[in-house]
Each structure stands twice: as C-alpha cells, then as structure tokens.
Amino acid sequence: MDDGRLIGTPIEIELALKSILKLGPDLGLFLNKSKSKIIPLGKTPMETMRTYGLPIVHAEGLIVLGSTVGDQSFCNEFVEQITDEIGEVLFKIALLNDTQSQYLML
C-alpha cells in the first residue's frame, strides 16, 4: 500500500492500525513508520496512538483527493485560495489577444 490514509475516530484508526500491523505482513502490507504520521483534527484525544511510535502532527485540517477535511474556517480558507488562483488564471487568459486561444484555454 502506498500513500494510504486512515480517516475516522481514534478508536476506528487504532483498530485499523492494529489490523495492518498484525495481518498486513502476511499479505505483503507493511507500515512504513518513517513515512507515516497521525494528524488529529480538532481536540481529538490521541494518547493511545503514541504507542505506535508515529509522529503526531497537529493541523486544522487536511486535503484528501482535492477535498477538505477539517473545521469550517479551514474549508473556507481552502475555497478562497482556489477561487483566487482561478481568478488569476482567468485574468491572464483575458490578456491574450486571440479569442480562439482564450476559448481553448477555458
């Protein structure tokens, strides 16, 4: 497994981690601890997660396949950033002197 994500409550994540660590090796699935981290969202208690030896990185949210997971302010900031980027691209397209090129860029 490469670039996998476990998203859920601490209990669900802990169960999934236990399964991966216990059953995974027989299936050729190994957790690469040097590339793994735990990102609790909000005020999630993570005390039991420390036993897995993974770094715990606190964040307001994360982006999974282009979608936000987090609190309202994190999601709003993401949408504002995307709309700003789209606005910049549209402005640059408008500067082209060829309407056919402008149309193709859209």
User: What's the token pair of residue 77?
Assistant: 């900031």
Q: Is residue 62 within 8 Å of 69, Cβ to Cβ? A: yes
> What is the reported pLDDT for 53?
81
Gap between the terminal Cα atoms of the chain? 36
Question: 14-25: per-residue pLDDT in tens?
Answer: 888 889 899 999
Domain locations in the chain? 1-59, 63-106
How many C-beta atoms lie closer than 10 Å to residue 87's C-beta? 10
Backbone angles phi, psi at 73, to 5 degrees: -65, -35
User: Which range has highest mean pLDDT (5-9, 39-43, 88-92)?
Assistant: 88-92
Mean pLDDT, residues 36-40: 81
pTM higher than the cut 0.75? no
Question: 47-71: per-residue pLDDT in tens?
Answer: 777 777 888 887 788 888 888 888 8
The answer on pLDDT for 85 being more than 80 is yes
